[in-house]
Each structure stands twice: as structure tokens, then as C-alpha cells.
Amino acid sequence: MDFTMSARQTEWRNRVISFMDKHVRPAAPIYKEQDAKGDRWKVIPILEDLKKKARAEGLWNMFMPPNEHEDDEFRGAGLTNLEYALLAEQMGHFYWASEVFNCSAPDTGNMEVFMRYGTKEQKRQWLKPLMNGEIRSAFLMTEPAVASSDATNIETSIKRDGDHYVINGRKWWSSGAGDPRCKITILMGKTDPNAPRHQQQSQILVPLDTPGITIEKMLPVFGFDDAPHGHAQILLENVRVPASNILLGEGRGFEIAQGRLGPGRIHHCMRTIGAAEEALEKMVKRLSSRTAFGKKIIEQSVWEQRIGEARTNIEMTRLLCLKAADMMDKVGNKAAQTEIAMIKVAAPNVALKIIDDAIQAFGAAGVSDEAGLAKSYAGIRTLRLADGPDEVHNRAIARLELRKYSNH
């Protein structure tokens, strides 16, 4: 057990910090200005400029850990989950920064699915442009009609018809589908409702321009539209795709989902720690610059208490997240499932408390768009639901805990 960063970890982290300070932070007001102008669902020019710079510096596709599916044609940056976790934290300081490095969800999870389970043809058609940052993608799992926290409830049907599958159903919270560059979706649905419970589901590739797909509406998050990424409600009516689009074969949907969601949860959690750090910094600077009742607000004891707790909680959460990432590298996602579940519960809750305190420090400015805290709070509050709600993860943690004593 060594808590000192290796030379390689330090080098990569410093490179990302340097890029964030030199290019991303100064671009934040430009991003805000371009985002506010014209159509909501558009490509933001400053983001494309930053992507070119990041790629030129070799800060690209860093999320993809070394794996046996890589070849000369398709490979990531060669970083482990632990090495990448340190970088994801830095990206989390700005909600849009991960896309600069081609490391944003849901593309990262979808790229891992293509890398692990896609055919060579599928990789050339979809993975290549995704890894080049030329297109975006979406993951269609959650449904409005059922409690999707239990994925066995999913009702969208995938029925074989000769050389095709025909898909019918309604999905929502299809993040990324608002982006005009979104070309491909990975959909989870039922191929056999009579199979054993966890073999009823399959995952299949559905290009977004396939006839029968209707984007019914974009869903706001606490009033934010999250453009140009967005979260779509999508209707699929007799959507026909080639049978070869099924991933890994019928009934393998859960298996793919588990392989996909583990790393994504760690990425979200480390970005969340970055958001907490950003909020803490804003809070301290604000409190130091304002006077009330005859002294600096930061000198009021209640704020010393809140700042002390914030720093402690960030450090604890980061250690748990790094432990989970390290276990994923050393013993695999399945053996690290308790740590992944724990950090998925802990990180958003810790960050939300810190952001809430920062909002309080800013007063009314905190709930406006002045400080960026309202948007940050809204985004991170959704993480208590995304990739499984707190209750599902706590249930898994509790069951693993109970199992330890079941033979006593």
C-alpha cells in the first residue's frame, strides 16, 4: 500500500492540470457565451478548438484502460483506471471539460462496449469516429413506464424477423441524443420474456437515423436543458435493424451492462470530486472577500466548521474512489463491486453537501447562474439516480455485508 503518486501518475496529472489552467479555464466564459447564442442543439465552436489542442498534446481517449481487445487499429492511451481517475477529477472542475479530451459519458461507456464486444466492421463504422471525436452516441436503457432501477423491468421489445430485429418501445433519459453529432445508440431491451430473468435482455446497435425513431421531447434537469448534450425521450416504432447489430448474441444484455457500468461509475465519481473541489475553492474565496457584522464572513465560526468538514470529506471520498479504481485494475470489476457501489453512493452525497454550503456562502448569487453552483448542484443531484440510484447500491452493499455472516 503506497499513497505516493508514481512518476507516471504525476506526469499525466500535471499535463492535464496544465491544459485545464492554460486552455479550459480561460475558455469558460467563451463556452458560456457560445452556448447561450442561437440554437440550443448545436456544436459549440470553442469546444472543437480545445479538442484539437488536447489531441495534439496526446491528452485523448485516456479513459480506455489497456485490455486484450486492443489492436494496432483500436487502442486507448494505455492508462489504468487508477491513473485515469486522477485525471477525471481535474476534468470535473467544469461540467463540459471531459469532452475536450474525448472522455465524456455516455461515449466512454459505449466505446468500451464497442471495444470489448463489437465486430471489426462495427468498430470501423462506429468506434473509429467515436474515438476520433467526430460523432457522439447515446445509451438507451431507462423507460418512463417502469421502475428502471430494476433493469429486469425493461419492456422495450427486440423481436427477430428474418435477417433483422424489429424494436418497439419508449426510452427516456437518453443522454447525448440532443447533440446534432449523435449518430449511434446502444439500446437495451427484451429478446425473450420467457428466458431466465437475467437472460431476457439483449443490447443492440440502433443508428439514430433509422426509420421509426422519434425524439418526442428533451427532458430538463431542474430547469436546465443540458444542451447541446441533452436527455431525450425517444419513441421506437417498428424500428428495423440488421440482425448482425445484436451485441454478443441474444440474452447477454446484463453481462454487457455490468462490464460497461463499472468504469463509468468511477469516472463520474472522480469528476464529482473535482466539482466538490471547485465549489470549495469558490466558497473560500467568496467568504474571504465579504464582510458582515463587522468581520470577514470566513471568520464566523460556522464557516470554519463547514470548510473543515468539506476538506475532510473530499479527502475521504477521494481515497475510497482511488481504492476502487486500484481494485478494478488489480482484481477486476466484479471483485471491486462493493467499493464501486460505496463510492457511487458517497461521492455525489459529499459533493452535494459542499456545493450546497457554497451556495449558502454566495447568498442569492449562489442560486443564480453567476457562480455556476446551481448548474453544478443540478448535475450532481442526478448522479444519485444515474447508473443506479443510491438505494440499489446500498442494497448491494448490505447484501454483500450480510453474506459475510450467513454461515455463523
- Domain limits of the chain? 7-136, 137-251, 254-404
Q: How high is the pLDDT of residue 223? A: 96
- Cα–Cα dist 99/91, whole Å: 9
Q: How high is the pLDDT of residue 259? A: 77
- Residue 405: φ, ψ to 5°: -110, 10
**Residue 246, Ramachandran bin (φ over 0: left; ψ between -120 and 50: alpha; else beta):** beta
Q: What percent of the chain has pLDDT over 70?
A: 100
Q: What percent of the chain has pLDDT over 90?
A: 93
Q: Which fold has domain 254-404?
A: Butyryl-CoA Dehydrogenase, subunit A; domain 3 (1.20.140)
> Got the DSSP string for 152-206?
GG---EEEEETTEEEEEEEEEEEETTTSTTEEEEEEEEES-TTS-GGGSEEEEEE
Q: How high is the pLDDT of residue 215? A: 98
Q: Given a cut of 80, is residue 262 above it in pLDDT?
A: no
Same fold, 137-251 and 254-404: no
Query: Whole-model pTM?
Result: 0.96
**Residue range 341-351: mean pLDDT, rounded:** 98
DSSP 124: I
* CATH number listed for the domain at residues 7-136: 1.10.540.10
- The three three-digit cell numbers of residue 241, written as one number: 435493424
Residue given cell 442494497 in the structure block? 395
Give domain 137-251's CATH number out of 3.30.420.40, 2.40.110.10, 3.40.50.2020, 1.10.8.60: 2.40.110.10
- The three three-digit cell numbers of residue 207, written as one number: 443508428
Residue given cell 488536447 in the structure block? 54
Q: How high is the pLDDT of residue 28? A: 97
Residues near 329 by beta carbon (within 8 Å), at least 6 away in sequence = 65, 80, 81, 82
Q: Given a cut of 70, is residue 408 above it in pLDDT?
A: no
